[in-house]
């Protein structure tokens, strides 16, 4: 057991934890921040992505002790003063989530991508950069659109190439 | 009286009520719950595909730090626990009737929470360890010593059906538990005799797994004071789990509360009870503390219910002009070690003739046990398998007999004038405009530009392929549903027993309710998932929920209008017949009063304390008649001949879902459905090593998933041909993306590889298979 201290979502926390405690366990089980999810054991799915000093990490593969003295942001800490982050809003607006289990990790990874990618963001870049996050519900189509829409809002339209508008005609109707 | 409908919310892409909690980290998934004093359990799982359990020595495990108990099947038997009553034989009026040989009852091997005699697949739990922490439980599980007597095993579907195959259940003479025949033998034989052509194929649609991203989890709590159990467990329907787990425990259902709020993906594979659900509640009583379980991903790959796994022999008789005359099919389903559901075999059996007018057919439907994890309905239960068989056979027939593959399909499609259409094995298709679907698909998929794109691909050194399929599927499902409709001054509540796992019921059901009552969408809330509130309900599977919910909510609203008129009449001192309802407002011409639903609830409280918590109506509905969603699908691929790598360049669908309540949600369902179907075609496979019987896919590192960078964007279009079978004309929108996807991918690959010998690559079509076909010939694979 060791005492570790870190800043989580703007608050300083200090806890006694076992040496093998993973950061995701620390967040979920010691701090009750259950928005960060565990979807696999092999650093593949990305459901557990949080920011460690502003950088995306898969918190299932980081020891809590490694985060000592550092700043952690989880999905619960993304909205500020009751105002959703533009990426959160875009996921809702573009139906970028269904069951919502992968969503916190998706959003955290997307926030970092938009904040740090140096060039122009387009569909191809988003698909390549987000490859470390799995979603089983959406087929990724709407997540890509949500990320590019948020990026356009945050970075300005000059930094983002939007995909072609979705083909969504009114349904063909028949009384059957 | 049917309520008069003015659609305001229905048909609109309203943003979801679910999303706020899910995008802020405030979802309520099973593992998010913890109870004071809770302890953890881990399972001891079989490393062998088939073995007798000779002895279990838990003495070392019991000595380990934090360990509170080790329990085996013998402990459960001593407490009189029963088997899980999966009720696997589909039994609604319209399900295909499956039997054992010669019409005998289907033999269902017992499924206790832990076995006492044998383990029958790798990963089967045979003991549970309870400890203070999860890690302690997992460590101790590895210290439980099991003495096994290894037995011969069989995993492969065709091999399991052989008379001399190792037997999974001693009570059967072999592994065949279902052997049923359907259709018209005589006329089918006559049609084949007079046909100009007959084409045949043999396929094995392999085993895949649902892989919902939320690993299955369960938290059980026994409250000694009340004698009640509480189970937190995400599933496809809490009411079903309540009844099944109560039966296992041997208690009446009122002694068990099941809570299933947010569920992190289901896709069918969560609809049947997992053994850990029963184990945590039983162990909680035994230990006297809440007991929690969460599967790790490897456990999910080994012991989540899996999907597909069908061997098909299929033949089609065709006349000189290309008209289909008759079909023969022999379908063999692998149910795994325990039979938890025959839905895949049954549903596929009803759809073997697909979207085509084929007058005669015969079908033999069989199911076999094997030493593998059990299979269950997986997204579009049974339908991608039979769609694949027929559509691939049509492509083959077109190629071998010199027909254009699109025109051969068009010539044989069922026409709207033939609806309702009874197919050759007795399924009655409710409605549909199949040729219009195909016409729209050719347009939005730009088939006219295919030759140009092919030339462009060739100039870049790529092989180009384009494919298309039609599909029809069935939505049947549990026939009963219940809705409680509660009108309060502050808003409307619907309590219903479906169980979404991302399908957005709290939004789409509110849209329907709002329009039926004539109230704003924002005033309606939908309550789900807690059996102390939700008293009955069929859960979510087979695309049933929107249709069943809208039907029973419609009826509840009709009842509520009658009740409201009575209340208002009493309040205003007029006769109920003097109260009119239209467009969300009650009018009493005699008193010149106009009252909305919320005012009505307020008035009701002044009449009777019975209405203090709102005006309530409970409505049950039983609806057996199935519906048949349908559509058409195309895709275009490019292959790099140097690597065998494949890229999907274009993917388009037209899906007739009946009335579409929320097009944003329906398109999203189609996207996700496509990904799961494409996944089976290109990457996914629960491969078992033929020498050892060991599953080779046990993590996301070795099970190929659809990912951001291997999926395309989609072109999806909705058709609304209203079904005459239910009040709003709904079919279903959850599975149409998946049903034709394996067939259409194979169709495009075939087209791309047509210069390299006859098709025959088995799914998943990995780059190495494509490369081998190109460089060494299809026969080398």
Q: Compute the average pLDDT of residues A152-168.
A: 93
Structure tokens at B446: 């730009």
Cross-chain Cβ contact A76/B715 below 8 Å: no
Three-state DSSP at B598 gives helix
User: First and final CA of chain A: distance in angstroms?
Assistant: 68
Indicate whether this complex's ipTM tops 0.85: yes
Q: At what angle do helices B597-607 and B545-572 cross, to 10 degrees?
A: 50
Among candidates B518, B707, B644, B622, which has minimal Cα distance to B7? B518
Q: How many C-beta neighbours within 10 Å does residue A3 have?
A: 9
Contacts with A59 from chain B: Cβ below 8 Å: none
Cross-chain Cβ contact B700/A78 below 8 Å: no
Q: Chain A closest CA to B269's CA: distance in Å? A: 13
Q: How many C-beta neighbours within 10 Å does residue B533 have?
A: 14
d(CA B700, CA A102): 14
* H helix or E strand, kind and range, residue B19: helix B19-23
Structure tokens at B369: 């046990």
pLDDT at A22 over 80: yes
| Greatest Cα-to-Cα distance within chain B, rounded to the nearest angstrom | 89
Contacts with A126 from chain B: Cβ below 8 Å: 708
pLDDT given at position B7: 94
Cross-chain Cβ contact A144/B713 below 8 Å: yes
Measured in degrees and rounded to the nearest 5, phi and psi for residue B267 equal 65, 25
d(CA B745, CA B205): 14
pLDDT given at position A176: 63
Q: Would you say B474 and B626 are in contact if contact means Cβ atoms under 8 Å apart?
A: yes
pLDDT given at position B1: 41
Among candidates B547, B556, B545, which has minimal Cα distance to B516? B556
When the pLDDT of each residue in chain B is averaged and rounded to a whole number, the result is 96
Which residues have a Cβ under 8 Å from the Cβ of B87 and sit 6 or more positions away? none
Among candidates B500, B492, B491, B557, which has minimal Cα distance to B528? B500
Which DSSP state fits A162?
A: P
d(CA B160, CA B193): 33
Which residues have a Cβ under 8 Å from the Cβ of B550 and sit 6 or more positions away? B509, B512, B661, B726, B727, B728, B730
Quick one: closest CA in B to A79, which residue? B24
Contacts with A100 from chain B: Cβ below 8 Å: 18-19, 21-23, 27, 262, 264, 502
Q: How many C-beta neighbours within 10 Å does residue A162 have?
A: 14
d(CA B327, CA B325): 7
Quick one: closest CA in A to B700, which residue? A44
Kindly report each contact of residues B772-780 with a partner whose C-beta sits within 8 Å and lies 24 or more positions away, as own/partner. B772/B644, B774/B463, B774/B639, B774/B641, B774/B644, B778/B753
Q: Would you call the peptide bond into A66 cis, given omega within 30 degrees of 0 as the criterion?
A: no
Q: What's the per-residue H, E or C state across B542-576?
A: CCCHHHHHHHHHHHHHHHHHHHHHHHHHHHHCCCH
Among candidates B411, B311, B412, B403, which has minimal Cα distance to B365? B311
d(CA B276, CA B729): 39
Q: What angle do CA B314, B316, B320 make, to 5 degrees?
A: 160
Cα dist. B462→B450, B466, B640, B644, B711 in Å?
Answer: 14, 13, 5, 10, 18
Contacts with B431 from chain A: Cβ below 8 Å: 176
Per-position DSSP letters for B701-721, written without gaps between them: TTS----GGG----EEEEEEE
pLDDT given at position A167: 82
d(CA B376, CA B345): 10
Cross-chain Cβ contact B20/A168 below 8 Å: no
pLDDT given at position A171: 86
Q: Chain A closest CA to B337's CA: distance in Å? A: 25
Structure tokens at B719: 């058709």
When the pLDDT of each residue in chain A is averaged and rounded to a whole number, the result is 96
d(CA B223, CA B281): 10
Structure tokens at B224: 């000694």
d(CA A66, CA B677): 41
Which DSSP state fits A82?
A: T
B635 strand-pairing partners: B467, B651
Contacts with B294 from chain A: Cβ below 8 Å: 38
Using a 10 angstrom Cβ sphere, with 0-12 exposed, 13-18 middle and 19 or more buried, the burial of residue B46 is: buried
Interface of A with B in 45-84 (CB under 8 A): 45, 47, 74-76, 78-79, 84
Q: Would you say B674 and B710 are in contact if contact means Cβ atoms under 8 Å apart?
A: no
Cross-chain Cβ contact A139/B672 below 8 Å: yes
Helix, strand, coil % over all residues of chain A, rounded to 5? 35, 20, 45
Quick: pLDDT tens for B327-357.
999 999 999 999 999 999 999 999 999 999 9
- Point out the residues of chain B with pLDDT beneath 70: 1-4, 758-759, 779, 781
Scan for tokens 């690559």, then name that residue.
B761
d(CA B257, CA B220): 10
> Strand locations in chain A, DSSP E?
2-8, 11-17, 49-52, 55-58, 71-73, 172-174
Q: At what angle do helices A103-116 and A86-93 cross, to 10 degrees?
A: 120
Which residues have a Cβ under 8 Å from the Cβ of B226 and sit 6 or more positions away? none
Give the length of chain B. 781
* H helix or E strand, kind and range, residue B450: helix B450-459
* H helix or E strand, kind and range, residue B146: strand B145-150
Q: Would you say B212 and B266 are in contact if contact means Cβ atoms under 8 Å apart?
A: yes
d(CA B48, CA B52): 10
Cα dist. B329→B201, B352, B380 in Å?
Answer: 10, 8, 20
């Amino acid at each position: 057991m060791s005492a570790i201290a870190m800043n989580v979502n703007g608050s300083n926390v200090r806890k006694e934890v076992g040496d093998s405690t993973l950061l995701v366990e620390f967040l979920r089980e010691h701090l009750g921040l259950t928005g960060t999810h565990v979807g696999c054991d092999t650093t593949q799915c990305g459901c557990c992505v949080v920011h460690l000093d502003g950088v995306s990490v898969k918190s299932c593969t980081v020891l809590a002790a490694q985060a000592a003295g550092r700043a952690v942001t989880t999905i619960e800490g993304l909205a500020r003063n009751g105002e959703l982050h533009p990426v959160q809003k875009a996921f809702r607006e573009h139906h970028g989530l269904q069951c919502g289990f992968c969503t916190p990790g998706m959003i955290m990874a997307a926030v970092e991508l938009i904040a740090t990618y140096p060039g122009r963001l387009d569909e191809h870049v988003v698909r390549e950069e987000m490859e470390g996050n799995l979603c089983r519900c959406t087929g990724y189509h709407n997540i890509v659109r949500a990320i590019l829409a948020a990026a356009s809002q945050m970075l300005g339209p000059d930094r983002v190439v939007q995909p072609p508008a979705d083909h969504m005609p009114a349904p063909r109707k028949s009384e059957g | 009286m049917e309520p008069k409908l003015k659609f305001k919310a229905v048909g609109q892409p309203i943003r979801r009520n679910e999303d706020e909690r899910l995008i802020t980290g405030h979802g309520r998934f099973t593992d998010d719950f913890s109870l004071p004093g809770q302890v953890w359990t881990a399972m001891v799982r079989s490393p062998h595909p088939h073995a007798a359990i000779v002895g279990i020595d838990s003495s070392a495990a019991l000595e380990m730090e934090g360990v509170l108990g080790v329990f085996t099947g013998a402990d459960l038997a001593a407490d009189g626990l029963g088997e899980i009553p999966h009720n696997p034989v589909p039994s609604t009026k319209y399900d295909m009737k499956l039997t054992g040989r010669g019409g005998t009852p289907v033999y269902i091997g017992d499924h206790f929470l832990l076995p006492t005699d044998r383990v029958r697949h790798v990963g089967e739990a045979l003991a549970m360890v309870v400890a203070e922490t999860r890690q302690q439980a997992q460590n101790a599980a590895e210290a439980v010593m099991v003495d096994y007597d290894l037995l011969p095993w069989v995993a492969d579907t065709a091999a399991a059906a052989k008379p001399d195959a190792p037997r999974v259940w001693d009570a059967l003479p072999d592994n065949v538990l279902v052997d049923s025949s359907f259709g018209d033998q005589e006329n089918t034989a006559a049609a084949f005799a007079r046909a100009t052509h007959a084409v045949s194929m043999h396929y094995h649609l392999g085993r895949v797994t649902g892989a919902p991203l939320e690993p299955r989890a369960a938290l059980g709590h026994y409250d000694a004071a009340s004698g009640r159990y509480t189970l937190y467990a995400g599933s496809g329907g809490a009411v079903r789990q309540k009844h099944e787990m109560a039966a296992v425990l041997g208690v009446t259902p009122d002694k068990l509360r099941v809570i299933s709020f947010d569920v992190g993906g289901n896709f069918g594979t969560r609809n049947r009870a997992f053994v850990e659900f029963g184990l945590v509640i039983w162990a909680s009583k035994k230990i006297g503390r809440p007991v929690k379980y969460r599967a790790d991903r490897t456990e999910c790959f080994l012991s989540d219910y899996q999907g597909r796994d069908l061997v098909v022999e299929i033949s089609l008789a065709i006349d000189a002009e290309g008209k289909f005359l008759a079909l023969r099919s022999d379908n063999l389903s692998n149910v795994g070690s325990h039979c938890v559901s025959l839905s895949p075999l049954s549903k596929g059996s009803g759809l073997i003739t697909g979207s085509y007018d084929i007058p005669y057919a015969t079908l033999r439907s069989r199911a076999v046990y094997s030493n593998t994890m059990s299979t269950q309905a997986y997204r579009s239960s049974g339908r991608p398998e039979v769609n694949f068989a027929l559509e691939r056979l049509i492509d083959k027939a077109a190629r071998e007999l010199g027909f254009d593959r699109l025109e051969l399909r068009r010539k044989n499609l069922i026409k709207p004038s033939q609806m309702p259409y009874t197919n050759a094995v007795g399924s009655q298709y409710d409605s549909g405009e199949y040729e219009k679907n195909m016409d729209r698909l050719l347009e939005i998929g730009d088939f006219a530009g295919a030759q140009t794109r092919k030339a462009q691909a060739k100039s870049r050194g790529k092989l180009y392929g384009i494919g298309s399929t039609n599909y029809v599927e069935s939505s049947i499902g549990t026939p009963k549903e219940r809705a409680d409709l509660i009108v309060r001054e502050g808003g409307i509540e619907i309590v219903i027993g479906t169980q979404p796992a991302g399908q957005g019921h709290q939004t789409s059901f509110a849209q329907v309710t709002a329009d039926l009552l004539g109230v704003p969408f924002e005033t309606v809330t939908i309550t789900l998932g807690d059996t102390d509130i939700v008293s009955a309900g069929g859960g979510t599977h087979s695309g049933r929920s929107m249709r069943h919910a809208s039907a029973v909510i419609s009826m509840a609203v009709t009842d509520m209008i009658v009740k409201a008129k009575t209340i208002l009449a009493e309040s205003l001192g007029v006769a109920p017949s003097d109260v009119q309802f239209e467009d969300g407002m009650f009018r009493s011409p005699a008193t010149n009063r106009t009252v909305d639903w919320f005012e009505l609830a307020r008035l009701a409280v002044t009449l009777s304390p019975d209405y203090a918590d709102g005006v309530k109506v409970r409505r049950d509905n039983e609806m057996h008649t199935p519906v048949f969603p349908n559509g058409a699908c195309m895709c275009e691929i490019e292959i790099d001949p140097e690597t065998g790598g494949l890229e999907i360049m274009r993917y388009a669908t037209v899906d007739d879902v009946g009335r579409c309540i929320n097009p944003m949600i329906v398109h999203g369902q189609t996207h996700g459905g496509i990904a799961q179907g494409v996944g089976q075609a290109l990457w996914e496979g629960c491969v078992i090593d033929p020498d050892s019987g060991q599953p080779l896919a046990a993590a996301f590192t070795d099970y190929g998933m659809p990912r951001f960078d291997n999926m395309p964007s989609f072109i999806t279009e909705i058709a609304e041909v209203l079904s005459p079978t239910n009040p709003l004309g709904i079919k279903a929108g959850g599975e149409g993306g998946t049903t034709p996807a394996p067939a259409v991918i194979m169709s495009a690959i075939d087209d791309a590889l047509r210069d390299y010998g006859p098709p025959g690559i088995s799914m998943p079509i990995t780059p190495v298979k494509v490369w081998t076909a190109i460089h060494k010939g299809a026969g080398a694979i």
